[in-house]
Structure 1
């Protein structure tokens, strides 16, 4: 069983997935802010962003004004024969595909994010080989996702994510690559909530936006070294992590 903040978050997200995607009227829901995350599963900075930052929007309510699109491909490369090579090796290719299948099979963002959060929390803890336990921890059925991986549909999903990532303008330089309303945040990606609140114009500002927009009085900080995985090299992995049949 998950423990501490992780268990509390998974329980909260499970309860949220049992209600409608948004309490906003249809006219307002159609004006949600587009929030996109281009990432790869074993980049430690992507994992930390998902677990420590992105998950907050499901707790503070910003998910109600956000149309979240997760793209698990990152800095991978596609060969001429369609083979995908991932920056952090075959383990990452497996998990990228598993998360792509989760997104496809559970289109409700509150459902597939619950699973992805669980997997990425294991990455942060350096125990990602236990990723299959996330089916039990989240109460989600494994068959559809594992079938998607085994029958080749996951590979097709990854190739579509490759095309989507490669078509980015401007091109992504690293991951996590966070885009709000069509504009990349570059290395200010951790401030994505503030940018979402700036862009949202469909109605009254959500409670979570209060305090985020008044930053003019804050002292300037020295920019820290980028916490990213650059798209400039590939790592190797000795073997593929397995899962049960």
Structure 2
């Protein structure tokens, strides 16, 4: 099952539940949340058939390319964590007209050593580890975004990785992720993050650094930080979803500058 199907489903369940509380699956539901819409049987058993069908129907009616939102960030940067958890992920849940690219690297420095690379991160070795874990997760499961949200919203970003995996990707073990982190695959994936970050035009000056459809301007950054929801709705060229008729706005600013 694709992540895109699950996220609007979970939001729909939360919205439809009394007083905004998330309703529990039925007692016959033996699947983790990531599997609820994987088959007709599991959707019925977990009592979410209606939401699964509605989510799939909304996606099938899209005629235009989604708005592409790129986030260049660091795993332990407070401003990055705040934007990802309080603005980017909630907007992605609400709007199925946007796609998200996450690039965890930010203000890190890459040094080539004997045909390999070493990394120095703005917030220390733990941030380099967090960047690498999240990079490997993105390469290993299509449930990466909710896992990363789970990690970044935790008091302990790295320490929460294993429990977040168990919730959203129970088939992916922490041992497998760490094999990627400590192996050539993780290094090559991080090298690609470094190249992608260094290729930004204009060059990034701080993180979170946001691109919309591959473009960064201070105006777009300001609008994304003020209300990404409103920005995505305004830039989508297709028929606006019903959610865009609302007036949701979230405001804050916090940056980690490139020193």
- 1:189-218 CA deviation, whole Å, 9 max, x = no partner? 32222221121112x1012211449x9xxx
SS in 2 for 1:68: strand
Aligned residues: 208
Greater RCO structure (CA 8 Å; 6+ sep)? 1
CA-based RMSD: 3.2
Q: What is the 5 A alignment of 1:64-213?
A: 64-81=96-113, 82-106=117-141, 108=142, 111-122=143-154, 125-126=155-156, 128-140=158-170, 141-142=172-173, 143-184=175-216, 185-190=220-225, 191-202=227-238, 204-212=239-247
Contact 2:33 2:168 in 1 (8 A): no
Structure 1 residues without counterparts, runs of 5 or longer = 216-222, 233-245
- 1:36-59 CA deviation, whole Å, 9 max, x = no partner? 111110001111111111121343
SS in 1 for 2:122: coil
> C-alpha displacement at 1:176, in angstroms?
0.7
- 1:165-197 CA deviation, whole Å, 9 max, x = no partner? 110111111111111122323344322222211
The CA distance in 1 between the partners of 2:136 and 2:258, in whole Å, is 24
Q: Between Structure 1 and Structure 2, whose CA radius of gyration is higher?
A: 2
Structure 2 residues without counterparts, runs of 5 or longer = 1-13, 15-20, 26-31, 39-51
TM norm structure 2: 0.69
TM norm structure 1: 0.73
Contact 1:181 1:199 in 2 (8 A): no
